Structure 1
Amino acid sequence: MVGTGLERCADLAHLPLEQLRAYRGELATEEDRVSYWRRLIQARLDVVRGDARSRRAPSPPDPQRLREALSTGAAASRRTALVRVRQDGEAPPLPDLAVLWASLPGEDPAERAALVARLERAEQDLSAYRTTLHRWIDEATTELIARYREDPSSCLAALPLQGPFARR
């Protein structure tokens, strides 16, 4: 786009405005989810490391409850839908979080160190994916801004139909 200073994203050019808005919303939802998973992994790391330092037997987490929260089944389908919009397919692989969470450290220091290493790798993978999501959100936002600048009236469709900010 000439004169706006905004770099358009060719990967998003094929999306109609409504789909672009929905895509950006899906990315934001996915980023929230990944941030939550990352915080859980970081907490798990703290627990495993804390148990190693205190030499107390770890209190086992409830793997069934956490397996549901960390299930990659539903998340994988959302992630696949997000990646399908992109032509470059550059999303990093995600760790199997349910398996990681169900892993209980034993008393063996080598076993505990291996679990810490797997958790650290999972945290790195989630961070890489989160960084990718941030870039995609920025690209979608930039594309939306560019389209709104081209046709300012198109942003009116994003306003709610009811409430204090309702379209009149």
Structure 2
Amino acid sequence: MRELGRRTAALLRAGDLVLLSGHLGAGKTTFTRGLGEGLGVRGAVTSPTFVIARVHPSLRQGPPLVHVDAYRLGGGLEEMEDLDLDVSLPESVVVVEWGEGKVEELSEARLQIVVERQLGGADGDGDAGAGEDGDDPRRVTFTGIGPRWADVRLEDLAPEGV
């Protein structure tokens, strides 16, 4: 998942909204850690569950990474307004875990990533279970929505059984 995040980072640019979904322990945060490495951002990318959002500035003149965990937020976009994601989005890459049904209105274009893995074996910290990257295979589905993603070959990113 981490390597997949690094590869995906090469496609991202300022203004991109990425929605990550999948069960607890599916590897969403591990994927985002790889994104952070690929984007060259400062700071350890860890789950922002209790702080809701973290900003990781770029170390190489690229866009900052805004990492949001909407798991504990029950409402839609109005509850997310306090995070000022609409202000951050134009100059940042914004990744929202558990954002489906909550942040789609931020942008007409977004990258939706669904991570599926067999349930069981999660280590309870929101990351992949068996090892640092998790040893069990995942199925990752990338869906680009809007004109931004019309000509991007997402199918090359995630071979079956990541």
- TM-score for both structures, normalised by structure 2: 0.27
> Structure 1-normalised TM-score?
0.26
Where is the helix percentage greater, Structure 1 or Structure 2?
Answer: 1
Query: Which structure has the higher relative contact order (CA within 8 Å, separation 6+)?
Result: 1
Larger gyration radius, structure 1 or structure 2: 1
